[in-house]
Amino acid sequence: MSAASFRAALRVQGNVIGALILRELHTRFGRANIGYLWLFAEPMLLAVAVALLHTNHDLPIAGGIRPIPFAIAGYGLFILFRSVVSRAETVIEANRPLLHHRPVTIPDMLIARMVLEAVSTIVMLIVLLGGAWALGLADPLARPEAFAGAVALMCWFAFGLSMLVTSASHQSPVVGRLVHPLLYLSMPLSGAFFALSWFPQGVRDLLVWVPTVHIFELLKVGQFEAFESRWIDLPYVIGWCGGLTLLGLLGLKHLRARIELS
Residue 56, pLDDT above cutoff 90: no
Please tell me the number of Cα atoms within 13 Å of 253 on its side-chain side: 6
Instruction: Dump pLDDT digits (tens) for 79-132.
Output: 999 999 998 988 888 888 888 888 888 999 999 999 998 988 888 899 989 988
Residue 62, pLDDT above cutoff 60: no
Residue 262, pLDDT above cutoff 60: no
CA-nearest of 252, 249, 240 to 157 is: 240
Other Cβ atoms closer than 10 A to 176: 18
Question: What pLDDT, on the 0 to 100 scale, is given for residue 55?
Answer: 64
Question: What pLDDT, on the 0 to 100 scale, is given for residue 36?
Answer: 66
Q: What is the mean pLDDT of residues 175-198?
A: 91
Q: What percent of the chain has pLDDT over 70?
A: 91
Measured in residues, the chain has a length of 262
Identify whether the C-beta of residue 232 lies closer than 8 Å to the C-beta of residue 219: no
Rounded Cα distance between 19 and 252, Å, is: 21
CA-nearest of 73, 87, 53, 235 to 159 is: 87
Phi-psi region of 57 (alpha: psi -120 to 50; beta: other; left: phi over 0): beta
CA-nearest of 122, 100, 139, 103 to 47 is: 122
HEC letters along 107-162? HHHHHHHHHHHHHHHHHHHHHHHHHHHHCCCCCCCCCHHHHHHHHHHHHHHHHHHH
Number of H helices, E strands in the chain: 10, 0
Q: What is the mean pLDDT of residues 237-256?
A: 94
HEC letters along 194-233? CCHHHCCHHHHHHHCCCHHHHHHHHHHHHHCCCCCCCCCC
Structural element, H or E, at residue 252:
helix 234-258
Q: Tell me, what DSSP letter sits at residue 86?
A: H
- How much helix, strand and coil, in percent to the nearest 5, is found in the chain? 75, 0, 25
Rounded Cα distance between 238 and 101, Å, is: 33
Q: What is the mean pLDDT of residues 233-257?
A: 94
Instruction: Kindly report the average pLDDT of the chain as a whole number.
Output: 87
Residue 202, pLDDT above cutoff 90: yes
Residue 42, pLDDT above cutoff 80: no
Question: What pLDDT, on the 0 to 100 scale, is given for residue 57?
Answer: 60
The band of 34, judged by pLDDT with boundaries at 50, 70 and 90, is: low
Question: What pLDDT, on the 0 to 100 scale, is given for residue 216?
Answer: 97
Q: What is the mean pLDDT of residues 36-48?
A: 73
Instruction: Dump pLDDT digits (tens) for 128-176.
Output: 899 889 988 888 999 999 999 999 999 999 999 999 999 999 888 888 8
